[in-house]
A and B are shown apart, each in its own frame.
Chain A
Amino acid sequence: MRNTIQQLLNGIFIGSIYALFGLGYTLVFGLLDVLNLAHSEVFMLGAVVAYSLVALHHVPFLLAVPLGIAAGGLLGLVIEFVALRPLRRRGAPPIAALISTIGLALILVALIEQAKRGGALSWLWRDGANDVQFPAGKVPDRIWHLAGLTLPVNKVAIVVITVALMGVLAYVMAKTPAGRAVRAVAENPRAAQLLGVNVDRVITITLVASSALAALAGILFALALNDISPYIGRDQVELRGLAVIVLGGMGSIPGTFIGGFTLGLLESITILTLGTDVRAVGFVALFVMLILRPSGLLGRPATERV
């Protein structure tokens, strides 16, 4: 019983990271109908930047987090100006942007995995394709014990941060002028432009926010699992993020929230009942969901896209 509860708790911890990651995916998809496949590499780079600040440059962890998020935001600008805006200018179909973000993702992973000791990027990463961990004692690692359950403080913090951010984002989207502008552009960019919305600026800001969220998710993932490598984006969250946004309904913020926790819990339940590799769960869930209800749990009925 205790084991069961512990596993379910772990599902919630990891689910909140999935939700946080899926949030950025879904923001961009809701706005542009573009699947930004460089998103998972922003996640990876957020973790790498935080790690390098803490381990190589001896910056306190609590300062490294905002710096890592800022780096993610900058990368969002790169995605917008290199991979998305030029294509939008030409009216390319969303599939073209999918390809250009794949190109960007390839470049980012290759740059990090080739960064070795003494190389040009050694200030950022020195371990090539290897996994590293935060040095002991440099990051919060206290553990609460409550009724026989293990509650690492940082994992509890992750859930709190995710829930708070979801609330803030839902509020911003629903109630503020900025959120209204985003929804207007998502609905119809040309009409929004005619009504005085600066469409390019809205898209740029959304990309920056989405990428900052991905970087934060990456940092929290690195903290929770204590595992950082050039491949954490590609192997751990890229496809799970897709599962999350499909489960929740593409473009829906509350849906992503639910989708993230659902996937985390589904994985926990699979470990409990089958004890096998959990990676299949997300794909089976995704596949079944798309067939039964393509619009997801909370999405609008899927209109024709592409």
Chain B
Amino acid sequence: MAFLTQLLFHPFTWYHAHQLLAGQMGVDGLLALSIWLTLYSGQLTLANAGFMAIGAYSSVILTGGTTSSGPAAAGVHLPLPVAMLIGVVLAAVVALLIGLPVLRLKGVFLAIATLGFGEALRFGLILNLGITGKGQGLNNPHATLTSGIMPIWLSLAILAFLAWRLTGTKTGHAWAAIREDQLAAAAQGIDVARYKMVAFVLGAMVAAFAGALGAHLSFLIDSNDYTFTQAIDMLIWAVVGGIAFVIGPIVGAVLLTILPEVLRFTQDYRQVINGVILIAIVLFRPDGLFTRRSGTGQSGWFVRRWVTVRRRWPSRRPQPAPP
């Protein structure tokens, strides 16, 4: 409780006591933004932990990170912004190559394939390449620590603003149309494949950017920070916050990152509480915390929860006629 009162009434004191947590919150907000981009266009992709790793490892290697047996890339000492830019561009290229085959998949299949990409990247490359320390992780002597926090929050604010403005553009409308009904969107002449790819690549770039920023909050990066669990965490933030607005996932990320600190008194059972919150959100607030009021006049979650509850299941999409 002291944590909360301090946060609310003495934010500056709080900030000085919890700088790294504040940085982590910003990074998580960026990650939530990255998964929001694909979710908003109706695609459940879980590759962002992999792109995050690409950004993190590139930025650390290029700024002179060291493995246990010497410098990862001898003689390379780029300034951090340049290294981050290279990481982000690399992630964009990889996303483009991966996206070409993978984005044809839908729903759960897309989720599994992108998850497979993330884990194959981690187990296949990061744990086996000399340049990434073969699973020993990399030392990052050029970590920026606390001086990196303001840039993180600043870039989160700017990117969130840009993403919000993007929803009002042609691209944003195309994403929403694809999310609501891909076939109808295609029938309206929207280039579905292209707009999906734009969302996927943008998401990958933001994730790589967040990964690079996050990596420089610490003197050591470890492939265990970029697992399946990290991908699922991003999804959880987005679900808790709701994907109707860009602010939803960001608030979800910030809240759930800070929650363990607020719930210190529960100590070891934090994950139990996380699980309960997750189930409760899905059950009682299925569209997340921030939802768009529907255009029917009688909107709000109460009506959706209690009046229109028994509508969709077990009806399904029309099945193809047997041959």
Hey, which bits of chain A sit against chain B, CB under 8 A?
Answer: 29, 33, 35, 82-83, 86-92, 94-96, 98-100, 102-107, 109-111, 114, 187-190, 193, 199, 238-239, 242-243, 246, 250, 276-277, 279-280, 283-284, 286-287, 290-291, 294, 302-306
Contact = CB atoms under 8 A, between A and B. Distances in A.
Given A92-B282, A239-B228, A304-B317, A107 B271 contact: yes
22 contacts: A87-B286, A89-B310, A92-B313, A94-B108, A99-B239, A106-B274, A106-B278, A107-B271, A110-B275, A114-B272, A188-B316, A242-B112, A242-B115, A246-B112, A280-B128, A286-B113, A290-B102, A290-B109, A291-B102, A302-B109, A303-B319, A304-B106
A111 B108 contact: no
Secondary structure type dominating chain B contacts: helix
Contacts of B286: 87, 90, 92, 96
A286 B116 contact: yes
Interface residues of B, number: 51
Counting chain B CB atoms within 10 Å of each CB, which of A99, A110, A286, A294 scores highest?
Answer: A99
Contact of A91 (B111, B277, B282, B313): B313
Interface stretch (B7-15, B119-127, B209-217): B119-127
B120 A284 contact: yes
Nearest to B117: A287
B275 A106 contact: yes
Contacts of B319: 187-188, 303
Contacts of A33: 108
B236 A102 contact: yes
Contact of A111 (B228, B235, B272, B310): B272
Contacts, number: 160
Contacts of B311: 91
A288 to B, nearest CB: 9
B279 A83 contact: yes
B178 to A, nearest CB: 13
B220 to A, nearest CB: 21
B270 to A, nearest CB: 8
A88 B279 contact: no
Nearest to A242: B112
B108 A89 contact: no
Nearest to B125: A280
The CB with the most chain A CB atoms within 10 A, among B108, B124, B127, B319, is that of B108
